[in-house]
Structure 1
Amino acid sequence: MRNVKGWFVRLKRWQKIVLGAGLLLVVGIGVLVVVQKRKAGIVPVQAGKVTRQTLAQVVTASGEVRPRNYVNINSQSFGKIVEIRVAEGQRVRRGDVLLRLEAVQPSADVDASRAGVKSSESGLTGAQASLRASQADYQRSLAEFDRISANWDRAQNLHKEGLISQQEYDARAAEFRSAKATADLATERVGQNQAELDRAQSGLAQGRALLTRASDVLQKTTYTSPIDGMVTNLPVHEGEQTVPGIQNSPGSFLMTVADMSEVTAEVKVDETDIVNVQLGQSAEVTIDAFPNKTYKGTVTQIGTTALVRSTGRSTAELQTGTQEAKDFKVIITLGEPPATVRPGLSTTAKVTTATRENVVSVPLQALTIRRQGDIEAAEKKARGEKTAAAASLAAAPPTAEEKKELQGVFLIKDGKAHFQTVETGITGVTEIEILSGLDEGQEIITGTYKVLRELRHLAKVRIESPEEAKAEERR
C-alpha cells in the first residue's frame, strides 16, 4: 500500500489528471451498462387517460357556391344580337328585357300574317252575310212552295170532279213544279253559302295560327328575365350570331340569371361518408374568398346517383361498371350568406352527422388492430417464462389459424402493455367514442404510431419523459 501511495505521489500532475479521468470513464461505462441492462426489453411509450367528453362526428366535403334557383338562357332562334340591355352583376326583375336579336324578317312575317287574318275576317263577314241572305230566300221560297202546293192539291181534286178546265189544271201543275224547283234551288244556295262560311272560318283559323307562329318567332328575338335575380354570367356581345338548339345540341348560351337571395354550397361527399348524411343536419361552411369566416347551413338535398370522382359523370351514364372512387352531391343551404358572394366560389362544408354528450373517448391514434393468435401466443409465452416477452411483432408472425382481427387499445398495468378489446361508436375530429371495454381514468398508450404498430401484448413499457417525446416528434 505504501508502495502504491509512494508511486502515486511520484506521479506528475498531468499524469494524476489522466489517471483520474480514466477511472471516472470506467465507472461511467459501468453505470451505463447497468442502466441499459435494466432497460433491455422495455418499450418507451406515450400515455394518456381515458376521458369523458362531448363528441361530434363530422363529414368534410368540398365544392362550390351555387344559387338555389338560377336559369341558363340559351338562344331559341337564328339571328344577330343587336342590343344587350344588361351588364354582368346587374340586378333584374322578372319580365325585364335582357337582350334583343335582329327581328326584320320576323316582324315582316307578323305584319303579313296580321294582314292575312284581317282579309280572312272580311271574307268571313261576307260569307256570313251571304248565308243569311240565302237562308232568308230559302224561307221565302219554302213559304211560296207551301202556298202553291196547297193550290195544286185543290186543283187536283177539282179536276177529278170536272170543276176546272184542263188548261187551268195544266197551269196549276206548271206553277207547282216551278215553286218546287225554286225551293230546291234555295236549299242548294243555303248549303253552298254554308260551305263558303266554313271555308272562310277555316281560312281565318289558319291565318290566326300563322299569326301566332310568326308572333312566337318574333317574341323569341326578345329575351326577358324569367325570375328576379342577378345576371351572373354574360359571355356574349352585340353583333354576335346565335343559333337555336337542335336535337341533343343546345343553342347558343346567352347568359345566366340567378336568384342570390338563397345561396347554397354544392359539395361532393365521399361514398363512405354519404350514408351518415341526412336531410336537416347542420353544417359549417367556409368560403375561400372570405377567410376566417364560418357560415351556418342546413343539408337540404342529397343526391342519389354516384358521380365518378375523376370525371364528375354520373355512373348511370356509363356503359360498364367502374372501380374508381365515387362521390355524391349534397346541397347545403346557407342561413346568412355574405352579400357579396358570387356563384362558383370554392367552399368547404363540415356536416355534423352525429353528436354524443359525456361519452367515454380515447384519441384516434390509440386505437389499433391485433390478431387473436398474437394475443394468445403472448399470454402463453408469458406464463411459461419469467422474463417479459419481446416487444416486436416480427418475432411472432401470424399463422393461418390466428387471423381473427381484434380492435382495441393498450392499457398500462404494472409496467406492461395489456391489449384490451373495445367497441367503438362515433368518430370525432381527434377522438373516438368507446361504447364498451374501457372506463374513465384508465391509463392507455397513445403513441407513438411506430410503437403502436409493433407493440406486443404484455410487453414491458415505460412512459416517455416530455423531453424524450419531443425528441421522438423531431425524428
Structure 2
Amino acid sequence: MRRTLYIAGGVLIVLIILGTAGRFMGWFGAEGEGVAVQAEAAEARTITQVVTAFGRAQPEVEVTISPDVSGEIVELNVREGADVQEGDVLLRLRPDTYEAQLERTRAELNRAQATLSEREADSLQTRLEFERQQRLFEREVIPESEYQAAESAYKQAVARLQAARFQVQSAMASLRDAREQLQKTTIYAPMSGTVSKLDVELGERVVGTSQMAGTEMMRIARLEQMEMEVDINENDVVNVSLGDTARVEVDAYPDRSFRGTVTEIANSARVSGEGTQEQVTNFPVKIRLLDAHNENAGTVMTGPEGGIASAEDGTPTEPAPVIRPGMSGAVDISTHTVSDAVSVPIQAVTVRNLNEESDADRRSEEAMRRVVFIADGDTARVRQVDTGIADDAFIEVRAGLEPGERVVTGPYSAVSRELEGGTAITIEERPGPGVRTASR
C-alpha cells in the first residue's frame, strides 16, 4: 500500500513538472494565455507642448492713489466704476491747517525781507564809515585802533547781511513747501481710466507723508487692456518664453476662450509653505489678452430703434465680454511645437533596465532607460527610445521608432510592470463602441 502511494506521488510530481515546462515552451495551453494588451500604431502628428496655470485677471495698467498729506476728506467726486480723465479732481482734503501754515510762512518771508533791507542799509553805512576811516588812517590822522574798529564793524555788517539773505532764502523755501502742501489737499487723476477700487468715504480721515505711501484711497485702471497673472511652477517656467502664445479661459465665460501672449516672466519666485513639506515655488507670469474685451465699459451697443446693434449684413453683433479685475481663469501656454513628429500615446512609454545586472542594480534610477514595447505578432519586443516634448495625449519619439510600428499602449499594469522582452501577448482589438474581440 505504501509503495503504491510513493509511486502515485512520483507520477504526480513528474506531471506537474512536464505541465509547467510544456506551458513555458508553448507545447500546449498557449492559445489565449498571453498578457492581454492594447496596441496602437505610431503616427506622425503635430505635437504642441503646453504649460497650464491658473490665476486672476487684472488691468495691464493700474495706479494706486494715496495722499501726500493728512486730513479729512471734504469732497469726493468719484464712485467705484466711474470713468475719469487725466487732470480731473478726484477729491479734496480739508485745507484749513495748510492755509494757516501758508499764511505763517508768508509772514516769515515778509519779516525776513524787512530784516534784509535793514541789513543792507547797515552794511552800506558801515562800508562808507570804514572807507572814510581808511582814508584818515592812510593820512595818519587817526590811530590804528580806530581804523581796526571801523574795519571790524564793516565785516560784522557784511556777515549780518549775508545771514539775512540766507534767512530770506529759507523763508522762500518754506513758503514754496507750504504752498505745495496746500496744493496736495486737492487730488487729481494722474491718467485717464476707470476707478477700479474705492476705499474711502466722504468725511474719512486719511494719512499721508512725502517719505512713504499713505492711505490707499482708490485705484485707477485702464480696463480696455486686461491681462492674466498666473503662478507657474519652477519646473515648468523654464519652458516659457516671452512672446509665447496662450489660450485663456475665464471662469465667468465657460463657452469662450481668448488669445493671449506672454508679456512678462518674473525673475523672483513666490514661495508658499516655506520650510514645510508643502513648500511650493512658483513664478508669476503675465499674459496679455489679445481678443476684444471691455469695449464701451462692457455695455451692449443698441441700434437706432433699440435692441442689440447689428452688423452691415443685419447679423446681431455680440457684445465684447466684460472681464473684471479679480476674475479667475486658466491659461494654456504653448511653449514648443514640432510638426510631423513620430509620436505614440504617453502611456506607451515606460522605463526598464536593459542591462544584465543584479536586482539591486536593475532597480537603480541611473540604469533605467525609456522604452516602448513593440507588438510583434503575439510577442512583446522591448525597444529603447529617445523622447521629446509631449502634449496632453501624445509624446514625441525622436529616435528608436518608425511610423506604422505598433506599440503596446495598455493596460497600465502591463506596460509599467508585467511586460518584458519576449513576453507573450494577446492584443485586444476595439473596432468600435460596444464591440470587443480578441486576436493573437
1:326 corresponds in structure 2 to 281
TM-score, length basis structure 2: 0.76
Distance change >3 Å, CA 400–CA 121, structure 1 → 2: same
Q: Take 1:101 and 1:119, find their aligned partners in 2: how far apart are those partners? A: 30
**What amino acid is the match of 2:335?**
T
Query: What corresponds to 1:435 in structure 2?
Result: 398
- 1:70 aligns with 62
1:417 aligns with 2:372: no
1:239 aligned onto 2:203: yes
Aligned partners of 1:51 and 1:440 also within 8 Å? yes
Structure 1 residues 47, 286: CA separation in 2 closer, same or farther (over 3 Å shift)? same
Residue 75 (structure 2) aligns with: 83
Which AA in structure 1 matches 2:75? E
Identity of aligned residues (%): 32
- Give the length in aligned residue pairs: 378
Call closer, same or farther: CA 1:471–1:90 in 2, change over 3 Å: farther
Larger Rg: 1
Counterparts of 2:40 and 2:171, CA distance in 1:
89
Distance in 2, Cα, partners of 1:432 & 1:67: 37
Instruction: Give the drift of 1:454.
Output: 4.4
Which has a greater percent of helix?
Answer: 1
Unmatched runs of 5 consecutive residues or more in structure 1: 1-35, 153-175, 311-317, 378-397
Distance 1:263 1:76 in 2: 29
Match of 1:46 in 2: 38
RMSD over aligned CA atoms reads 3.2
Offset of 1:424 from its aligned partner? 0.1
Q: How does 1:15-414 map to 2 (within 5 A)?
A: 39-143=31-135, 149=139, 176-177=141-142, 186-244=150-208, 251-260=214-223, 262-309=225-272, 324-339=279-294, 340-372=322-354, 399-403=359-363, 404-414=367-377
Q: Equivalents in 2 of 1:104, 1:245: separation in Å? A: 18
Please, which runs of 5 or more residues in structure 2 have no aligned partner?
A: 1-27, 295-321
SS at match of 1:54: strand
Is the Cα contact below 8 Å between 1:297 and 1:333 reproduced in 2?
A: yes
* Contact 2:371–2:383 under 8 Å retained in 1: yes
Q: Specify the code of the residue in structure 1 equivalent to 2:52.
A: T
Q: Which amino acid aligns with 1:214?
A: A
Deviation at 1:206, TM superposition (A): 2.7
Q: Contact 2:354 / 2:369 at 8 angstroms: preserved in 1?
A: yes
Report how far residue 223 of structure 1 moved: 2.3
Please give the alpha-carbon distance, in whole angstroms, between the structure 1 residues aligned to 2:122 and 2:42. 105
The question of whether the paired residues in 2 share the 8 Å contact of 1:131 and 1:194 is answered with yes
User: Match for 2:375: what amino acid?
Assistant: I
Task: Give the CA deviation at 1:264.
Answer: 2.4
Deviations along 1:66-103, one digit per CA (max 9) or x if unpaired, are: 22332222344432221112222223334432222222
Instruction: Work out the CA distance in 1 between the residues paired with 2:255 and 2:33.
Output: 49
The Cα of 1:470 is off from its aligned counterpart by 6.8
CA deviation vs aligned residue, 1:131-162 (integer Å, no higher than 9, x gap)? 2344344445545665xx1xx6xxxxxxxxxx
Q: Is the 8 A contact 1:44 1:464 kept in 2?
A: no
What secondary structure is seen at the aligned counterpart in 2 of 1:201?
A: helix
SS in 1 for 2:196: strand
Distance 1:451 1:209 in 2: 85
- Asked whether the equivalents of residues 81 and 240 of structure 1 are also in contact (C-alpha less than 8 Å), the reply is yes
